[in-house]
Amino acid sequence: GKADDTLNWATDKEVAVVDPYFSVTRELVIMGQMGWDGLVLFNNETGEFDPLLAKSWEWQSNTVVDFDLRDDVVFHDGSKFDADDVVYTINFLADPSNGVPAQSVVNWMKGATKLGQYKVRLELREPFANAFAYLANEIMIMPEGFYDNAPVGADGTRDLSALTPTGTGPYKVADIKTGDYILWDKNDDYFSGGPKGTPEIGHINFRAIKESNTQLAELMTGGLDWAWDVPKEQADRLEQSGQVTVVNEKTLRIAYLAFDVDGSSGQTFFTDQKVREAVAHAIDRDSIAVELVGAASEAIDSACHPDQFGCTQDVVHYDYNPEKAKELLAEAGYPDGFEFDLYGYRQREIAEAIIGDLSAVGIKANLNWLQYSSLLEKVQDGKTPVNFMTWGSSSIYDVAAITSHFFKGGPDDPAKDPRTAEALQRGDTSIDPEVRKEAYAEALGIIADEIYWLPLFSYAKYYAFSNDLEFTPTPDEIPRLYAARWK
Amino acid sequence: MTDTTTPILSIRNLTVALPVRIERDNAVDNLTFDVRPREILCVVGESGSGKSITSLATMGLLSPSLKVTGGEILFDGRNVLELEPGEHNALRGDRMAMIFQEPMTALNPAYTVGHQIEEVFRVHRSLGAAERRQRTLKLLEEVRLPDPERLFESYPHQLSGGQRQRIMIAMSLALDPKLLIADEPTTALDVTTQAQILRLLKQLNSKHDAGIMFITHDFSVVAEIADRVVVMRQGQIVEQGTADEVLNHPRHPYTRSLIDAVPRPAESPDKAAVENPVVIQVDHLQKTFHSAGGMFSKGRSVAAVRDVSFKVRRGETLGIVGESGSGKTTLVRCLMRLMDPDSGSINISGVDFASKTAGELRAHRKDIQIVFQDPYGSLNPRRTIGSQLIQGAVNFGVSRKEAWRRVYELLEIVRMPKYSVHRYPSQFSGGQRQRLCIARALVVNPKVLIADEAVSALDVSIQREVLKLINDIRDRLGLTVIFITHDLRVAAQVCDEVLVMKHGEVVERGGVGQIFKAPQHDYTRALLAAQPGQDWVIPDMAEFSEQMDEVVGQ
Amino acid sequence: MLAFLSKRIAVAILVALTVSMITFSMNYLTGDPAIAMAGENATEADLDAIREFYGYDRPIPVQYFSWLTNALHGDLGHSHYLNQPVTDEIMARLPATMTLGLFALIFALALSIPLGVLAAIRPNSLLDRIALTTAVVGQAMPSFWFALTMMLWFGINWQILPVSGADTWAHFVMPSIALGYYITPGVMRLTRAGMLDVLRSDYIRTARAKGVSKFSLLFKHALRNAIIPVVSLAAVQFGFMLGGSIVIETIFSINGLGYLAWESIQRADLPMMQAIVLVLSFFYIALTFLADVLNAWLDPRIRMG
Amino acid sequence: MSILDNDSLTAPEHETVLSPGQLMFRRAMTHRGLCLGGLVILAIVVIALLAPVIAPHDPYEQVLSEKLIPPVWFDNPATSWSHVLGTDHLGRDYLSRLIYGARISLLIGFAAMLISGVIGTVLGVCAGYFGGRVDMVISFIITTRLSMPVVLVALAVVTIVGSSLSVVIWVIGLLIWDRFAVVMRSATQQVRGLDFVTSAQSLGSSTARILFTEVLPNISNQIIVIATLEMAHAILLEAALSFLGLGVQPPTPSWGLMISDAKGLMFFDGWLIAVPGVALFVLVLAINLVGDGLRDVTAPEDRN
Ligand SMILES: Nc1ncnc2c1ncn2[C@@H]1O[C@H](COP(=O)(O)OP(=O)(O)OP(=O)(O)O)[C@@H](O)[C@H]1O
Ligand SMILES: Nc1ncnc2c1ncn2[C@@H]1O[C@H](COP(=O)(O)OP(=O)(O)OP(=O)(O)O)[C@@H](O)[C@H]1O
Ligand SMILES: [Mg+2]
Ligand SMILES: [Mg+2]
Ligand code: NI
């Protein structure tokens, strides 16, 4: 709390090792920004990338970019930051034999070379539109040789718990108790004039509190200053109570239903476009968005988040119309409806609402609830007639992070329609915004026309934090805790 | 010297109701008698006549289903029925004590017997641990328990029936109570031990001015110790008076019938040896109990049966008498393979009982039946008598109808009412349960019957009936009987041959005539000498036998 | 005793082997460790890379045997998710769970046994009904409800107890009560049932004839014979608390074994799961052994063997 | 001849006295707890069977804009008599869901209790009675079962066979027999050495018969206790499993699920959890009363 100058925040995931590469959780993206700096930083207001460890950069070609680095930065252990650190970090990440789990985050980089003490060159494997997004959000610069000190186990993996997290960021790790808390102290030596500003709050303490009721209890009793992902109803009640500040902020995550278009699941109802259309008319997406998700949530029509580059909403809109749905079903030969399996893994109450809407038009959905990993396997094998899924796009404001992932013929592609694949490929490999927009619009149009997916709504997250705290949520789901201050 | 004329216990018009009307309304009906200090009052009577219930009512330990509906029980001038539970509790174990009829189940299985005796001191006196232990050991010695140090550490299940009974006795004598109620305290004891116990009781009686209410079926014991006698039947007192009056000049027909049924000293000569086939052949049977040591104490072992061999021919009755704890029960349990012997061979009607598996034996069990020494534990408390009685017959393939017929026939013979089949064991008196057990064993028409003190809790008239029954079956069907008893007169009456056991060994064996007339072994002689009531010449009641039949057979 | 012990150890080894085998295959079925490591938005290529790098693409028996060989050498493995040796992590979490379990057991026994005994004295009396209600509440009220209700009153409304964490003894008060209350019904009701049976027996009458006090009659003479099934139950329940206190640990944010087990299943963290299951089976075996020894001591008629 | 028909061993009637069956019946009819518990269970069963007739609404009918209306006794303008117990988080009538939920919960509770009771009792009694090697094998099975995390098993089952009502019942039944087994084992150990067991042996009773007629009746108290315990346990476990995907899936109502669903609003709308909670409490209480009553009625003594 304000009294002891400690910002206590909690999420429901425990963090074992404070390392932005080997722990693939949202928590470490947040803490990555606290403890480390990337070369650049995304600016939510301008939508541009600000220089951070890099002072400036210059594209030499589609695949080569040179960075000029700051020379006034020191790591938490006192060592000075220079090009060697950047080169080490990037080359370490780019080498698959180092086993960084989230390969897609790093494998677009071919490597880095030192051009001078404060100048490096980054080479890409191929032109990549999201390069800067990754550089900003994920690629944190470690001190040279950082991972070399970790003891290597029998099977060749590193024991990272033996390392002391060291970065250049505005906060540095003061104490870790695995699974319990991670305490950060303000980095008094943080360079000034950077886009992250100067840290003000003395300490930031992270705790994992799995149970949302407990988070609430701690918030109300002052044990916590900041929490997010507060369920809607609880957030509404909290807001009414006035004990804490509650903000609903949109996110890049969207929800959608994906249909088994080719009948591989054995339940062939959804190979008929009329049936898919009936489903689209049957579900009251607006009500679900408003009543169950949050004020900042909105129903969507295209297979991407409206805020993403290239995400046009100018596609066919299926309004909520149960009567029409029934008609369509009758036309398709199911005047008495049918029964099918719906798969899901997250937010049962929404799945339940969808089932309720469907049953109102005579379709009975049997809910199959699976772990994400098991579900993914089933989805990729085409075993699911309909699956209720979500996608967060790794906080990347670009259709490439979602539509291209799903409709380019990959394992996740429900339709394997060559038309979308072609259009998306066109968009992905171009750097001309107009060309890209046009290509993506074409693909999104096809998806909406054919209803391969039924995009449902964009998510909105509830943030709840102490009334003493000055904090602004951002839609990229990377809360800038390092920039928070007391009122 | 205390006043010996004011009764220590005085029961006035006591009536205890039975919960549901069964054979009669009241378990005891309008009972009135006194027990004075320095007096031994013997209560005899029909099994099931309410003797135990009267004692329990005095102690305030009646089962909650039985209610005192009238009368008073004055102990030391105070009506115990009106005492606060706490006050009564303070009296119990200290001023009034009771020896229970059922020694087998009356001890807590979880504690060593030493501990259980000691507890009396702990509850009522503040003595040091060493003194408590020492006094307990002394008590164990007084009741003639061998090896007190071992027994002190033994658990009830490791003791023989007689040993447990003596533990109960020791417990009740611990604090020299003013009133001692002894409910058939010596049924499981061999006569030498019995004599010792009776002496002990007399001592308590005279030295400590205690009044003793002594319930027994054994008239020789009555003759030995009684000052006065109360005769009960069907919840009522039919006669009371001094020992001499009741024993020698009984007035009530029931009393006379009882005395008539008392077994007379045997004069049966040895039967000529018949060459029937051998039914039971036992060779070199051994059984040793090893009580596992605890964490800190070392284990001990008891050789309960040592190298015993004998054979029994068809139609013969083999008696086993001997010291309590000498291994009689163990011997017969091993014989039936209800317990695995350590070594030795057993052959019953050509079947090798020692080596067969439990499954194989099952089919042969029909031929050999046992009446357990303990009628309390051997009836399942949760099943009706009926289902337990026909179980055996049904198991061996007798039709249900036939089985019920036999059950009713046997119930009649053991003089239990037919509707007993609907009741649960806890609703019967000790003798009644024993009769049910006998009936249960006989329902399957066994070829061999083992009776482990099967008639000890029966009043003499029923006892005579049962013995007659056994003899009848033996003669008619060639039943072979092994008969364990402490009552030498009974043994003399029914047995052809007798084994005398001591310390797990057979010390003497021979025909009844030889054993009782010309005993060879010292122990046998000691046994015979210790028989109680030898001075009593049983009056001949033959002239009343007609009257008697009327009374008994109503 | 020695023979008995060695038999138990043989059983223990067998249990450990079987359980580890089943866990291995089940865990493999239910989740893909690669997905857990890569995060939700990973691409198929990412997953393949992880599988290959960490050897998840080998056939399951091969993986199991390599795990088993290492385990036999005393190396229970390394959690790729947590990037830590499994044993370190378990050792770090065990104390919290043990403390919680122990406090809970003490609370449960202290509440349920006297209550069970008292209820048996006068069946169907008011006291018996109160005890019954206490037990039924414990049965019908899921532990999370009970725990959160306590949290609401003691933590939020009155603020006399800390809401979550495991730093001081005060942190353990609510969790222990919540967890303990969860096992109270069983122990209490079983004690009552046993007492009702035992109080009828002849030796209780003997004890009364000796004039022992009511207390000693109930708690010394009767309880010792009545409690034997209760001891076995309590041992199992204690095991439940060590392994299954997921709910309570989650609610009060106590970093214990139950919580770790739950998380490990969800992220298909095989080595961690394996080690936890081994620890659990070790505990259960030890507990049932203890219960057997205790029971044999309580009732000498029960032989061990 | 079956080994279970012990009660058919009853004797022909006698005029003067009542047979044990009649006596027991009479005692049962005068036992307050037993009658009360029996009536409550009967009522719940009837309500469950007649759900379509009794329920005021379709339990699936959702009106998102009418969600979370409190029950009528709350001082809140939103309350309405059309939703006596209010509505849930999707605007469905709570009373109707409660009534329909009784079906699933009763079914799961009883069926799972039966399955686990049979398995656990058989294993426990065998282990306790035979001892030695049998005990070792069964102890092995019990410990293995105990060490397997329920969650893991549940997840594996969903992945392999999916989820349906019968699957849930079987899974729960196959998972919760451990307490039965453990308790029966030690209870049997206590009974097996008693003389009436020996005497049944000498009467030639088969082992199965001894187990059924000598041992079982003497451990029936413990069985009753564990059975009532496991029944409530099964009902709640179903809800927990359903969150893992194994269990009755929404929107089908069940009490356990209603309780779990209400968890999120525990601090703010306590009634959401209290309504199904009280229903479950009443059911469990009734079952316990019946259990106690059965014990009193079958116990050979203490007939007040
Ligand atoms: N708990 C009970 N419930 C019902 N009836 C009982 C109960 N206890 C004893 N009885 C009945 O009361 C009568 C008297 O029993 P009691 O035990 O006093 O007999 P007893 O004279 O001691 O006989 P015995 O010499 O055989 O021991 C018997 O007929 C018995 O069936
Ligand atoms: N389970 C046991 N464990 C240890 N010792 C035992 C066990 N059972 C009996 N004994 C001992 O074996 C000896 C013989 O006992 P047994 O019961 O055969 O005697 P008994 O001749 O039948 O005596 P009684 O006439 O008193 O019934 C006794 O000393 C007894 O203490
Ligand atoms: Mg008697
Ligand atoms: Mg004997
Ligand atoms: Ni490893």
Q: How would you write the pLDDT of chain C (305 residues) with one tens digit per residue? A: 677 778 888 888 889 889 888 888 887 777 777 877 777 667 777 788 778 777 788 888 888 888 888 888 878 888 877 878 888 888 888 888 889 999 999 999 999 999 999 999 888 889 999 999 999 999 888 888 999 999 999 988 899 988 888 888 899 999 999 999 988 999 999 999 999 989 888 899 999 999 999 999 999 999 999 999 999 999 998 888 877 688 888 899 888 888 888 888 888 888 888 888 888 888 888 998 899 889 988 888 886 54
Residue in the block written with tokens 């220590």: B8
**Which residues of chain A make contact with C253, given a CB cutoff of 8 A?**
207-211, 214
Buried b (16+ CB within 10 A) or exposed e, C75-89: bbbbbbbbbbbbbbb
| CATH number of the domain bearing residue B339 | 3.40.50.300
Residue contact C202–B106, C-beta within 8 A: yes
The domain C90-302 having CATH identifier 3.40.50.620: the answer here is no
The CA distance from A189 to the nearest CA of chain C, in Å, is 30
CB B27 within 8 A of CB B16: yes
Q: Which of the pair, A350 or B517, is modelled with greater confidence? A: A350
Please determine, for residue B428, whether its predicted confidence score (pLDDT) is greater than 80: yes
Query: What does the alpha-carbon distance between residue D105 and residue D115 come to, in Å, rounded to a whole number?
Result: 15
Please state the rounded mean pLDDT for residues B174-181. Answer: 92
Strand order in the sheet with A203-208: A171-177, A181-186, A203-208, A6-11, A226-228, A453-466, A244-259, A386-391, A339-344, A364-369
Closest-CA residue to C180 (of C93, C254, C234, C106): C106
pLDDT for position B298: 59
pLDDT for position C1: 61
Q: Quick check: is B542 in a domain?
A: no
Q: Which residues in chain D show pLDDT less than 70? A: 1-20, 300-304
| Helices and strands (DSSP H and E) totals, chain C | 15, 2
Domain extents in chain D: 29-63+84-298
Contacts of C2 (CB under 8 A, 6+ apart): none
Parallel/antiparallel/unpaired status of strands A49-51 and A40-42: antiparallel
pLDDT for position A378: 87
Question: How does DSSP classify residue C154?
Answer: I
Residue in the block written with tokens 């359903």: D242
Question: How does DSSP classify residue D253?
Answer: -
Closest-CA residue to B315 (of B279, B364, B281): B279
CB C270 within 8 A of CB C66: no
Burial of residue A97, with CB atoms counted within 10 A of its CB: 0-12 exposed, 13-18 middle, 19 or more buried: exposed
Q: Quick check: is B537 in a domain?
A: no
Alpha-carbon dihedral sign for residues A418, A419, A424, A429: positive
pLDDT for position B531: 87
Query: What does the alpha-carbon distance between residue C213 and residue B93 come to, in Å, rounded to a whole number?
Result: 11
Please determine, for residue B271, whether its predicted confidence score (pLDDT) is greater than 70: no
Q: Indicate whether B130 and B72 sit together in one domain.
A: no
pLDDT for position D303: 33
CB B181 within 8 A of CB B96: yes
CB A229 within 8 A of CB A248: no
pLDDT for position C269: 84
pLDDT for position A44: 85
- Determine which residue's CA is closest to atom 26 belonging to ligand 2: B162
Query: What does the alpha-carbon distance between residue B199 and residue B202 come to, in Å, rounded to a whole number?
Result: 5
**B205-231: per-residue pLDDT in tens?**
888 888 999 999 999 999 999 999 999
Give the domain extent around B460: 278-291+299-520
Query: What does the alpha-carbon distance between residue A159 and residue A22 come to, in Å, rounded to a whole number?
Result: 11
Q: What is the mean pLDDT of chain B?
A: 87
Which DSSP string corresponds to B510-522?
EEHHHHHHS--SH
Length of chain A in residues, anyone?
Answer: 487
Enumerate residues with CB within 5 Å of ligand 3 (an ion). B 52, 101, 429-430
Please determine, for residue B56, whether its predicted confidence score (pLDDT) is greater than 50: yes
Pick the ligand that lies closest to the CA of residue B485. 2
Q: How many CB atoms sit inside 10 A of residue D129's CB? A: 21
Enumerate residues with CB within 5 Å of ligand 5 (an ion). A 155, 157; C 78
pLDDT for position B274: 65
Q: What beta strand segments (E) does B314-433 contain?
A: 317-322, 343-348, 351-352, 368-371
Q: How far is the CA of B183 from the centre of ligand 3 (A)?
A: 7
**B362-403: per-residue pLDDT in tens?**
888 888 999 998 888 889 988 889 999 999 888 888 888 999
Closest residue on chain B to C222 (Cα):
B108
- Return the H-helix or E-strand segment holding A42: strand A40-42
Query: What does the alpha-carbon distance between residue C54 and residue A1 come to, in Å, rounded to a whole number?
Result: 42
- Amino acid identity at B339: M
Going from the C-alpha of A205 to that of each of A197, A482, B204, C93, the distances in angstroms are 20, 11, 83, 20
Q: Label residue B92 left, alpha or beta by phi (over 0 means left) and psi (-120 to 50 means alpha).
A: beta
Residue contact B426–D300, C-beta within 8 A: yes
Q: How far is the CA of B72 from the centre of ligand 4 (A)?
A: 39
pLDDT along chain A (487 residues), means of 10: 92 86 86 94 88 93 92 93 94 88 86 94 88 90 90 74 90 87 93 91 92 91 92 91 92 93 90 94 94 92 92 93 94 92 91 93 91 84 92 85 89 89 89 89 94 94 94 90 92
Q: Indicate whether B338 and B463 sit together in one domain.
A: yes
Q: Quick check: is B272 in a domain?
A: no
Q: CB distance from C49 to chain D under 8 Å?
A: no
Q: Quick check: is B431 in a domain?
A: yes
- Kindly indicate the confidence band of residue B21, based on its pLDDT and cuts at 50, 70 and 90: low
Tokens, residue B216: 């027994």
- Inter-helix orientation angle D32-49/D20-30, to 10°: 80
pLDDT for position B64: 82
**C194-242: per-residue pLDDT in tens?**
999 898 888 999 999 999 999 999 999 999 999 999 999 999 988 888 7
- Amino acid identity at C266: Q
Question: How does DSSP classify residue A100?
Answer: -
Residue B433 sits at the vertex; the CA angle it makes with B429 and B434, to the nearest 5 degrees, is 120
**Which residues of chain B make contact with C225, given a CB cutoff of 8 A?**
108-110
**Which residues of chain D make contact with A370, given a CB cutoff of 8 A?**
158-159, 245
The answer to whether the bond into D251 is cis (omega within 30° of 0) is: yes
Burial of residue B339, with CB atoms counted within 10 A of its CB: 0-12 exposed, 13-18 middle, 19 or more buried: middle
**B57-103: per-residue pLDDT in tens?**
999 998 888 889 989 999 988 899 998 888 888 999 899 999 998 87
pLDDT for position D14: 43
Residue in the block written with tokens 């249960």: B440
The CA distance from D135 to the nearest CA of chain B, in Å, is 18
Q: D-contacting residues of C 151-170, CB under 8 Å?
A: 152, 156
Q: Indicate whether B515 and B388 sit together in one domain.
A: yes
Q: Quick check: is B287 in a domain?
A: yes
CB D44 within 8 A of CB D106: yes
Going from the C-alpha of D295 to that of each of C218, D36, D225, D292, the distances in angstroms are 20, 15, 10, 5
CB A293 within 8 A of CB A299: no
Query: What does the alpha-carbon distance between residue A216 and residue A204 come to, in Å, rounded to a whole number?
Result: 19
Cβ–ligand 1 distance for B242 under 6 Å, the answer no
**Which residues of chain A make contact with D163, given a CB cutoff of 8 A?**
368-369
- Residue A13, classed as helix, strand or coil, is coil
Interface pTM, i.e. ipTM:
0.89
pLDDT for position B136: 94
Please state the rounded mean pLDDT for residues B134-139. Answer: 93
Name the phi and psi angles at A226, rounded to 5: -155, 130
Q: Indicate whether B229 and B352 sit together in one domain.
A: no
Query: What does the alpha-carbon distance between residue C139 and residue D225 come to, in Å, rounded to a whole number?
Result: 12
pLDDT for position B554: 42
CB B249 within 8 A of CB B260: no
Cβ–ligand 1 distance for B19 under 6 Å, the answer yes
pLDDT for position B440: 92
Contacts of B129 (CB under 8 A, 6+ apart): none
pLDDT for position B266: 61
Tokens, residue D104: 């699933």
Tokens, residue B544: 């009343």
Dihedral, CA of residue B232, residue B233, residue B238 and residue B244, to nearest 10: -50
Q: C-contacting residues of D 103-162, CB under 8 Å?
A: 131-132, 136, 139-140, 142-144, 146-153, 155-156, 158-160
Going from the C-alpha of D105 to that of each of A101, A446, D283, the distances in angstroms are 44, 47, 10
pTM recorded for the entire structure: 0.90
Contacts of B357 (CB under 8 A, 6+ apart): none
Q: Indicate whether B410 and B377 sit together in one domain.
A: yes
Tokens, residue A62: 């589609």
Name the phi and psi angles at A125, rounded to 5: -70, -40
Dihedral, CA of residue C252, residue C253, residue C256 and residue C259, to nearest 10: 100
Cβ–ligand 1 distance for B58 under 6 Å, the answer no
Q: CB distance from D232 to chain C under 8 Å?
A: yes
Cβ–ligand 1 distance for B235 under 6 Å, the answer no
Enumerate residues with CB within 5 Å of ligand 4 (an ion). B 160-161, 329, 373
**B330-371: per-residue pLDDT in tens?**
999 999 888 889 999 999 888 888 888 888 888 888 889 999
Do A and B have ≥3 inter-chain CB pairs under 8 A? no
- Nearest by CB to A371, which of C44, C50, C266? C266
- Amino acid identity at D17: V
- Return the H-helix or E-strand segment holding A173: strand A171-177
Cβ–ligand 1 distance for B426 under 6 Å, the answer yes
Q: Quick check: is B65 in a domain?
A: yes
- The total domain count for chain B is 3
CB A479 within 8 A of CB A247: no
CB A75 within 8 A of CB A168: yes
- Nearest by CB to D11, which of B19, B377, B404? B404
- Return the H-helix or E-strand segment holding D126: helix D94-130
Query: What does the alpha-carbon distance between residue B452 and residue B449 come to, in Å, rounded to a whole number?
Result: 10
- Determine which residue's CA is closest to atom 23 belonging to ligand 2: B325
Task: Give the range with max mean pLDDT: B435-449, B524-538, C267-281, D12-26.
Answer: B435-449
pLDDT for position D150: 83
Query: What does the alpha-carbon distance between residue A388 and residue A393 come to, in Å, rounded to a whole number?
Result: 16
Going from the C-alpha of A47 to that of each of A30, A127, A436, B199, C31, the distances in angstroms are 19, 21, 18, 112, 38
Do D and A have ≥3 inter-chain CB pairs under 8 A? yes
Q: Quick check: is B370 in a domain?
A: yes
pLDDT for position C271: 86
Q: How many CB atoms sit inside 10 A of residue B494's CB? A: 23
Pick the CATH number of D29-63+84-298 from 3.30.2290.10, 1.10.3720.10, 1.10.10.10, 1.10.600.10: 1.10.3720.10
